[in-house]
Structure 1
Amino acid sequence: MQKTVCELFAGVGGFRCGLNNIKTAEDYNKKEKWDTVWFSQWEPAEKSTQYAHDCYVYRFGTRLDNNGEDTTNYNIEDVDKTALPDFNLLVGGFPCQDYSVASSLATSKGLEGKKGILWWSIREILEVKKPPFVLLENVDRLLKSPAKQRGRDFGVILACFRDEGYTVEWRVINAAEYGYQQRRRRTFIFAYKNTTNYADSILKSIGYTDTSKEECMESIILNEGFFAKAFPVNKVEAAKMKIKELPSEVGEVSDTFQCAFENTGIMKDGIIYTMKTVPNYSGEQITLGDVMEIGEVDEQYFIPEEKLYYTDPSVTHSDETEQRLPKEDRQTWQYLKGAKKLLRTSSTGHEYVFSEGAISMIDQEDKPARTMLTSEGGFSRTTHIVKDKMTGRIRLLTASETERIQGFPTDHTKYCLIKGETVEMPLRKRRFMMGNALVVNLIQQMEEELSRIFEQED
């Protein structure tokens, strides 16, 4: 089977870099193992520029549809799906802002949210193009969304796949738990048509029968499935398989379905099998320190002393229940990352004490980086602060460091191609792109199993 790919919600090309093992600047010029026949990247919040798309085009060029038109920077909802070139693997990190770790689950809108509805564009492509294989990525919270009907959104997604004749595996993977340089938990979804050789071969390998379904599905989850092969796991002690049937209609799933999805599972013929697993990994660990600059760093990244501390550096908490600190004190990293208590008033006029705990001021170099968000580099508790290796001074991450934390080649996002002209991407946008991206190393690790699967197909 030809290794042809359609990359949706492509960002700056994380799936493409992963599938083609692009790790250094020299790798951009090598012949790609997986042929991306079309991609789509459109950011509705960008009014005058499309930096992610233009960075992708700078690195990889564009792709025309079957009508000879370049629709790669259109809203995917407006794209004529029948005009897309044929492909055998659909990939994408479909929009996750509505259930992102950056906001609370209770207030997220899930599939009813502004960007959650883009799932239906994926379903339309499944209906029209019928790709034999699909690999998608989303936040781990997808499995629990929305708060008032836990598991509904993921149930809708599974029902859509079922109706189009797919079996679906999923796994929540923390990149750091398999040795990589970031503590980032994401849900990965691998779906394959029930008519593929792979679907037939995996059932034969586990001796699947109507009377052994539960045991066979457990074997796929723990040993024989796509994710089990790429990222080995162990069954959590005393963990039991949960089994649940999807309602026959997607509308009924949306109205009534709930499910306590575990971090690992499979859906076959409308039956959900899910189980809690833990990583089985004992190899080396890449740390934040491993991807940090060892040479001279531009002065713009260093934090002025007056912005670091408002009092003695040993102070890690503030109590403002009696009186607020001066504004200049509150606009320091020490205050922002420290524990605090302050009075707040609810919308009903009730006064209460808001509390939050302290987090480390300086990120530890001997551990993987914390999850990087789109706010990276801004004045935020989640922004990484490091001690410069050459000078010992305190600074923010460089753009190249954020790229390496996500497994991209150094300076992957430095340039864009805008109206035929090469321009540099602004620093804040480079950080934003990395906060939105996936850990490329995980796709690189999946690629070996994907290649093996494709070699089995006619």
Structure 2
Amino acid sequence: MNKTVCELFAGVGGFRCGLNNIKSIEDKKEEKWETVWFSQWEPAEKKTQYAHSCYVYRFGTCLDKDGNDTTNCNIEEVDKKKLPDFNLLVAGFPCQDYSVASTLSTSKGLEGKKGILWWSIRETVEEKQPPFILLENVDRLIKSPAKQRGRDFGIILACLRDEGYTVEWRVINAAEYGYQQRRRRTFIFAYKNETRYNANVQEQVAYNKDSKLGEKRISMTKLLLKDGFFAKSFPVYDVDSKMLRITELPEGLGELSETFVFRFENSGVMKDGMVYTFKTTPKYNGEQITLGDIMETGEVDKQYFIPLDKLYYTKPSVTHSDETHGKLPKEDRQTWQYLKGAKKLPRKAANGHEYIFSEGAIPMIDKYDKPARTMLTSEGNFSRTTHIVQDKRTGGIRLLTACETERIQGFPTDYTKYCLVDGEVVEMPVKKRRFMMGNALVVNLIEQMEPLLSEIFEKEE
């Protein structure tokens, strides 16, 4: 089977880098996975589409069947019939509310609310019917929404069920497999029931859809622990099959949207409309990449260093503030010490109720001997979640450089430095580079999945 890929919500190309093991911006080797089309459009960007421009600078663009470039169009408005054919659909799609019109009881013809991007993936799957799908989302996907736990993920599984797929998922924390960031994300691998891969897996786990539930329980446990896609790519410790939680998805998406509630665990499989899930623990005893391993050792531009008056407003040993009897001066509150410190603040609710808001302290300086914390799109902004580090060369306190954020996500150094805008090569602003990385996936995880993906494709006709 040809290794052809469509990459939706592509960002700056994390899936493409991972599938093709791109380690350096100077690496011009031929890509073994051919990206035939991609989509990247950021509605908040009114002037320059930086992510798309960076992707095009690195890889060039792709045309649809009519010879038009629609890669930077709103995916909801793209005619999916005109996309080139492909065998692997990948997407790191935003996590939103996936509810559908509850008055509709069948799957066909359902329209999601505008702006809910799962439906664009579903539309692509319906039209193109790719044999394989690999998706990435935040870990809370399997628990959303808060008022109806599991509904959104149930809708996704049911959509894929209706198109003839078996679905495996795993919530993976990159740091628990030795990588440089504590980033927990949900990965979904779906494959058509008529693929040779599906037949091989069924044979390995001795699965028969007509078997008794107890026999299916044993088969699905074997798949999740030993023979499934994620089990082979990311080993876990054994779990007793009695721990498996099982449910059947409602037949119609409308009914599911209205009533479905289920506690999905971090590992699971959906087969023939039945869901099997339990909690697994990573099995990894190798080396651990830390924040210190990816830090700059040479000279760092002065723009990244934090002035002392912006760092502390009082003695460095102070880790909390109490403003219940009066606010601190504005200049004190606009320091990193205040932002990251513990606080007590008087607040008033919308109904007039007065209360004391409290939050705990978090470390000012991130330790070198641990993987980085989860990096967000606010990285580098005046935010509690922003990393602050001690420069290895000077000992000064500073923010992460753009290159360090790239390494935290497993991208090549300086990957986002340049963009192609209106035919001209321009540098991407540092703030945008850090935003792109906060929005990306950990490339290393896709690299770790790729050998098994290649093996699967080589065995398909």
User: Could you say which TM-score interval applies, normalised by the shorter chain?
Assistant: over 0.9
Find 1:373's aligned residue among 376, 392, 396: 376
Aligned counterpart, 1:216: 219
Q: Tell me, what secondary structure is at the counterpart of 2:226?
A: helix
**Residue 347 in structure 1 maps to residue 350 in structure 2:** yes
CA distance in 1, matches of 2:304, 2:391: 10
How many residue pairs are counted as aligned between the two chains? 445
Aligned counterpart, 2:104: none
**Residue 23 in structure 1 maps to residue 23 in structure 2:** yes
Find 1:243's aligned residue among 243, 246, 249: 246
CA distance in 2, matches of 1:376, 1:244: 40
Task: In structure 1, give the amino acid aligned to 2:311.
Answer: L
Aligned counterpart, 1:190: 189
CA distance in 1, matches of 2:114, 2:288: 38
Task: In structure 1, give the amino acid aligned to 2:3.
Answer: K
Task: In structure 1, give the amino acid aligned to 2:20.
Answer: N
Aligned counterpart, 1:107: none
Task: In structure 2, give the amino acid aligned to 1:285.
Answer: Q
**Residue 437 in structure 1 maps to residue 440 in structure 2:** yes
CA distance in 2, matches of 1:216, 1:451: 25
Identity between Structure 1 and Structure 2 (%): 74
Q: Tell me, what secondary structure is at the counterpart of 2:243?
A: coil
Equivalent residues of 2:97, 2:145 under 8 A apart: no
Find 2:235's aligned residue among 216, 232, 235: 232
Aligned counterpart, 1:77: 76
**Residue 133 in structure 1 maps to residue 132 in structure 2:** yes
Give the CA deviation at 1:260: 0.2
Equivalent residues of 1:98, 1:113 under 8 A apart: no
Structure 1 portions without partners, runs of 5+? 100-110
Offset from partner CA, 1:164-192 (integer Å, 9 cap, x none): 00000000000000000000000000000
Aligned counterpart, 2:174: 175
Give the CA deviation at 1:25: 1.8
Task: In structure 1, give the amino acid aligned to 2:159.
Answer: C
Give the CA deviation at 1:112: 7.5
CA distance in 1, matches of 2:256, 2:452: 32
CA distance in 2, matches of 1:263, 1:300: 41
Task: In structure 1, give the amino acid aligned to 2:125.
Answer: L
Task: In structure 2, give the amino acid aligned to 1:229.
Answer: K
Aligned counterpart, 2:120: 121
Give the CA deviation at 1:97: 6.1
Equivalent residues of 2:24, 2:412 under 8 A apart: yes
Give the CA deviation at 1:35: 0.2
Query: If the length of structure 2 is used for normalisation, what is the TM-score?
Result: 0.95
Structure 2 portions without partners, runs of 5+? 99-110
CA distance in 1, matches of 2:269, 2:120: 23
Equivalent residues of 1:239, 1:276 under 8 A apart: no
After superposing on structure 2, the runs of 4+ consecutive aligned residues of structure 1 that deviate more than 4 Å are 111-115, 236-239
Offset from partner CA, 1:47-96 (integer Å, 9 cap, x none): 11100000000000000000000000000011010000000000010112
Equivalent residues of 1:318, 1:341 under 8 A apart: yes
CA distance in 1, matches of 2:407, 2:241: 38
Query: If the length of structure 1 is used for normalisation, what is the TM-score?
Result: 0.95
**Residue pairs, 1:53-452, within 5 angstroms:** 53-96=52-95, 115=115, 117-209=116-208, 210-211=211-212, 212-235=215-238, 240-452=243-455
Q: Tell me, what secondary structure is at the counterpart of 1:449?
A: helix
Deviates more, 1:12-21 or 1:447-456: 447-456
Give the CA deviation at 1:235: 3.6
CA distance in 2, matches of 1:144, 1:18: 27
Aligned counterpart, 1:103: none
Offset from partner CA, 1:366-413 (integer Å, 9 cap, x none): 000000000000000000000000000000000000000000000110
CA distance in 1, matches of 2:436, 2:300: 21
Give the CA deviation at 1:206: 1.5
Give the CA deviation at 1:98: 6.3
- The two structures, once aligned, show a CA RMSD in angstroms of 1.4
Equivalent residues of 1:5, 1:88 under 8 A apart: yes
CA distance in 1, matches of 2:363, 2:160: 43
Give the CA deviation at 1:196: 0.1
Task: In structure 2, give the amino acid aligned to 1:311.
Answer: T
Give the CA deviation at 1:238: 9.0
